[in-house]
A and B are shown apart, each in its own frame.
Chain A
């Protein structure tokens, strides 16, 4: 064993499982995924391919992304070459030093004296030896520090690209991907990349240099011994390659076992009340134990196989050393070798052998890092929303708020249209109630209004202007949304209320909060309007969150509103507050209300009854009751 200072095997600082755990609290977002698919198979997380599909293209692309950092690479390469040369030179020189010392010692012994090192009897050479090592150290240090920021800078660049991309991805992407997936691309995957670039790639390059250099020196020192070593080296390379392949398979197997256990555990903890209420503790414990047993079994195999490579190669190298020692001593006695060269040869054996123990694993790591990069590029390559028109149409200000659907056709999957031919008009200031069972497509309508999704045919107009001809920002500026999934940003309450107009004064913010009936509540918080809201820490209730989103919309003062009425998760008093706040909000504005309450439905100027993603009836309450259709049924069933 020698100066190989780079350990690559066990340096994974990532936490693969905790990311999965984070995904549990995400029930709310899946509501957006509209048509529920009863009986559809489990949305099994797709098995991550750990082998890159097109390594060359990915590498090329990675290279072009890292423009501006290329000089670092050049410096590193130069340093590695210099380092390898001095690193390889050192044992050769040490051979020379030892031989020199041995010569001097033998001379002294011949004179019957004892020997000690002076300046002329080895001291100078020892100092030069120090010099060579210091040189190697210097180059090593330079490349180490140069590389220290390379990977993270590259990552930062990729992460920035992702951040930009997030703004250009269609809603379809968000509805189809779990937040956790996208997050793990941007964090775990890229961390893996930097880990590998930082350590793996560097030690790989150094290893290649060392092996080549050591091989050359061995051949120069003694061809026969070198050939013996090469035979053993070849055997170990083949063996590690085989083991490494096996490792990949086992790693995938382990990943599956982890997935199964994660699923079971998440499920059991989330449903623990049910488990206890139905006296199923034993069964559940049994199920978990089975899963942990399976995981332990695969992990034992994976751990063993992964860790056995190094000892295996070292063992082989030691067998080689035995052969080499016997041969070497033979040569030594015949005078074909000096003590120094024989020992130098053994140092080269170690220099060349140690990288062999790591080579295959490093290759695996590089591969999986490339696969991770590919996944990141995969996100960057997702289709984007159509760019806004170059010369966007403008709506005459002030906006009146007339919305018209004209023969709108739409389907989440263009081959399976949901809305085939929908037309309706909401006049300025009118209140439109949207009614329908869960999953009937109420969210779809909002998606289309806000242009979160683009329609497949017909057109939607705002004050007579085709919304498709406007920029999205211009269009959306006219809408305010209060959804049940009351999303608030991390930040203070004041910042959240002023989200739509950051220039709002404190007075305006308080006024909006008062109108939204949330002022009192805010004042009871420890820091009032400066209270920090955390997204996961539930420091405010769902109802209050919704009131805050109402205040947020009030302050933005849009011409058209989209409201989702509160349902059961809110207590009566808060619900009352929400109703009052919403009534104030809707005054004088065109509003679309996802209705759960009779009063909303009955009062509205237009009722849209939805089912299976399309509008099946529309009209006023009286008209619909008179028609005796689905709406009348729904309405009358209330007190059955």
Chain B
């Protein structure tokens, strides 16, 4: 609730106008029958037509003012709710931008999307509903009861009683219905899960000939939803019908009491109808409120979900320095050209919810002009190393330095200015290929783009009719996995950086492209340090330095040849990925590094894999 107030605050004016115009509208609505009653009363008692005409004018004014109020209320209600919706969306999104990897994963992509879109929609609708359907109730009730009291005290009290009873019933029934509604949601989810399963698994289902079974299980989900939906409808029907009944009783009771009061000279005959009208109006508003109130619990949940995102404290904060130079007083030039680009000094990392460190005391450095590779099984912490360099995660112990400066002393922007990164999952943005390639370097020329594409083996772009201006669909889904990966490599190459990180970026490429790309890459980024994270041993054979990672610990550090001799973990990886003959050839390489390429190109064909 406080969250909502926070978002309403900038729109105090609109809120005031909405409330004011709503009051005007309802006063007008209720005055019309009052004036009508006056007219009739005068008409039958004195027959003063002039007075009637004056009253008619009043009525016209009341109708007009009420209409104007309704329009204003409507307009500002739409204005208010959409603006608040927009602000919440923006706030959620902007909050997410400051999140570290861990912060974001706490919520999850799917959930974040729902929070930004669906949840806000619900909130927005709830605001509209509250203004249009629920706020009229107190206004109408107060104005109506006051008017009724002004006609006759007893009538007013009776009206108040009816309103009280119906309001209590409405609140009770809303409470009950809200619960059932939430249960119904589970059945909807169930239908969706079943449907999704039978659609995405169609090949497997058919391969196993299980069509009939899947149909039955779908049927089951559909049936149980139907049963429960019907139950909800019944409950609705019950509420609906009981309100109907109370309204009838209210009308008859009003006429009965009204008749008696007129008989007692307490009021006049036409005012009975006015009172009936008040009662109907108020009860009508309560019923509308009752239906729309069902939405509020859900809206509150949605609001809370958004608030969690907005109020989430990002776990990574900017450091003070916005340039590499400042931290240790060294000259800027020196730092920017530092021979050691990245340095892990006894760095350890533990996820917030984990019992054990993901990375233990990591020590290594990446030098300018050299290639460092990290290899190890999934879950060994390879990608985490890259993420610590980019400060998607922070070390829990030790330090990570870029060109001699602790990454925590830099602003995130300054840090990332010096790093170009190819993520594990090649992700492109909708737009053109050129838009994507210029992502890290807006001023790059077309020639630079083509050059990067060539290095990244993305010759296919030349074959596209629109070349650099070819459309890229959201996520790049109109390109194959390999093409996406190459484009995202090209994007990283366009950006000039001191450190290039390739996080398992060659996995979707076939052997041939992989090889050609690495070859071209070597010459391209000689001015910087390169960090390659890989699973395939072929990808990293020629690296200047290979870090073997297992269970978060460095098992070995050296060139391929050194590691083949000294590191058991490395040999194990090699054994699992290569055949005996290839392995032998590579072992020979270790002895005679110069022949490495040639030997491995002539594998002994008839040797059966000997794992």
Q: Does B116 contact A (CB under 8 A)?
A: yes
CB–CB A15/B196 < 8 A: no
Across chains A and B, the number of contacting residue pairs, with CB separation under 8 Å, is 521
- The interface centre, meaning the residue of B35, B94, B207, B390 with most chain A CB atoms within 10 A of its CB, is B207
Partner of A278, one of B96, B416, B474: B416
CB–CB A299/B82 < 8 A: yes
CB–CB B273/A307 < 8 A: no
CB–CB B288/A308 < 8 A: no
Binary CB contact string for chain B from 77 to 93 against chain A (1 if under 8 A, 0 otherwise): 11101110110011001
A-B contact pairs, 9 of them (CB 8 A): A2-B280, A10-B291, A43-B477, A167-B212, A186-B195, A304-B78, A329-B39, A450-B207, A476-B206
A117 and B208 in contact (CB under 8 A), knowing A133-B248, A638-B515, A640-B597? no
Give the residues in chain B near A408, CB-CB below 8 Å.
none
Give the residues in chain A near B241, CB-CB below 8 Å.
137, 140-141, 144
Give the residues in chain B near A567, CB-CB below 8 Å.
507
Q: Does A343 contact B (CB under 8 A)?
A: yes
Q: Cα distance A312–B273 when bound, in Å? A: 24
Q: Cα distance A507–B229 when bound, in Å? A: 42
Give the residues in chain B near A230, CB-CB below 8 Å.
none
Stretch binding the partner chain, chosen from B159-167, B363-371, B479-487: B479-487
Q: Cα distance A101–B504 when bound, in Å? A: 91
Residues 122-164 (chain A) with a chain B CB within 8 angstroms? 122, 126, 129-130, 133-134, 136-137, 140-141, 144-145, 148-149, 151-153, 155-156, 159-160, 163-164
Residues 289-303 (chain A) with a chain B CB within 8 angstroms? 289, 292-293, 295-297, 299-301, 303
Residue of A nearest to B94 (CB): A285
Q: Cα distance A31–B229 when bound, in Å? A: 37
CB–CB B197/A332 < 8 A: no
Q: Does B538 contact A (CB under 8 A)?
A: yes
- The interface centre, meaning the residue of B116, B199, B417 with most chain A CB atoms within 10 A of its CB, is B199
Q: Does A637 contact B (CB under 8 A)?
A: yes
Q: Cα distance A330–B44 when bound, in Å? A: 10
CB–CB B66/A140 < 8 A: no
Would you give the shortest CB distance from B555 to chain A, in whole angstroms? 13
Q: Does B430 contact A (CB under 8 A)?
A: yes
Would you give the shortest CB distance from A297 to chain B, in whole angstroms? 8
* New A-B pairs, 6, CB < 8 Å, besides A116-B260, A603-B609, A625-B605: A194-B229, A265-B93, A339-B40, A536-B110, A599-B579, A621-B605
Q: Cα distance A174–B197 when bound, in Å? A: 12
Q: Cα distance A266–B477 when bound, in Å? A: 13
CB–CB B133/A10 < 8 A: yes
CB–CB A42/B478 < 8 A: yes
Partner of B93, one of A97, A285, A473, A639: A285
CB–CB A21/B117 < 8 A: yes
CB–CB B248/A598 < 8 A: no
Give the residues in chain B near A479, CB-CB below 8 Å.
207
Q: Cα distance A20–B79 when bound, in Å? A: 26
CB–CB A42/B473 < 8 A: yes
A166 and B199 in contact (CB under 8 A), knowing A10-B132, A24-B113? yes
CB–CB A307/B77 < 8 A: yes
Interface residues on B, range: 35 or more
Residues 320-374 (chain A) with a chain B CB within 8 angstroms? 321-322, 325-326, 328-330, 332-333, 339, 342-343, 346
Stretch binding the partner chain, chosen from B262-270, B324-332, B343-351, B446-454: B262-270
Q: Cα distance A268–B431 when bound, in Å? A: 13
Stretch binding the partner chain, chosen from B2-10, B216-224, B398-406, B524-532: B216-224
CB–CB A311/B74 < 8 A: yes
Binary CB contact string for chain B from 263 to 284 against chain A (1 if under 8 A, 0 otherwise): 1110001101100010011001
Q: Does A7 contact B (CB under 8 A)?
A: yes
Q: Cα distance A156–B226 when bound, in Å? A: 6
Q: Cα distance A568–B263 when bound, in Å? A: 92
Q: Cα distance A59–B272 when bound, in Å? A: 46
Give the residues in chain A near B477, CB-CB below 8 Å.
27, 30, 43
Give the dominant DSSP class at B's interface.
helix
CB–CB B247/A3 < 8 A: yes
Give the dominant DSSP class at A's interface.
helix
Q: Does B394 contact A (CB under 8 A)?
A: no
Partner of A163, one of B74, B96, B218, B280: B218
Residues 57-72 (chain B) with a chain A CB within 8 angstroms? 59-60, 62-64, 66-67, 70-71
Q: Cα distance A278–B436 when bound, in Å? A: 11
Residue of A nearest to B61 (CB): A322
Give the residues in chain A near B240, CB-CB below 8 Å.
5, 144
Stretch binding the partner chain, chosen from B118-126, B146-154, B168-176, B352-360: B118-126
Residues 516-538 (chain B) with a chain A CB within 8 angstroms? 516, 519, 535-536, 538
Q: Does A220 contact B (CB under 8 A)?
A: no
Would you give the shortest CB distance from A384 to chain B, in whole angstroms? 13
CB–CB B474/A171 < 8 A: no
Residues 194-208 (chain B) with a chain A CB within 8 angstroms? 194-204, 206-208
CB–CB B121/A346 < 8 A: no
Would you give the shortest CB distance from A459 to chain B, in whole angstroms? 21
3 closest Cβ pairs, A-B complex: A115-B263, A315-B67, A571-B378
- The interface centre, meaning the residue of A274, A319, A500 with most chain B CB atoms within 10 A of its CB, is A274
A634 and B512 in contact (CB under 8 A), knowing A265-B113, A572-B573, A575-B576? yes
Give the residues in chain B near A32, CB-CB below 8 Å.
203
Residue of A nearest to B243 (CB): A5
Binary CB contact string for chain A from 369 to 387 against chain B (1 if under 8 A, 0 otherwise): 0000000000000000000
Stretch binding the partner chain, chosen from A236-244, A389-397, A481-489: A481-489
Residue of A nearest to B506 (CB): A568
CB–CB B277/A1 < 8 A: yes
CB–CB B74/A271 < 8 A: no
CB–CB B112/A438 < 8 A: no
Residue of B nearest to A323 (CB): B56
Q: Does B214 contact A (CB under 8 A)?
A: yes
Give the residues in chain B near A307, CB-CB below 8 Å.
74, 77-78, 128, 132
A490 and B193 in contact (CB under 8 A), knowing A152-B233, A167-B214? yes
Q: Cα distance A270–B62 when bound, in Å? A: 55
Q: Does A511 contact B (CB under 8 A)?
A: no
Residues 27-42 (chain A) with a chain B CB within 8 angstroms? 27-32, 36-42
CB–CB B273/A476 < 8 A: no
Q: Cα distance A268–B90 when bound, in Å? A: 13
Would you give the shortest CB distance from B8 to chain A, in whole angstroms? 15
Partner of A311, one of B67, B413, B479: B67
Q: Does A499 contact B (CB under 8 A)?
A: yes
Q: Does A439 contact B (CB under 8 A)?
A: yes
CB–CB B121/A296 < 8 A: no
CB–CB A134/B248 < 8 A: yes
Would you give the shortest CB distance from A206 to chain B, in whole angstroms? 12
Residue of A nearest to B89 (CB): A292
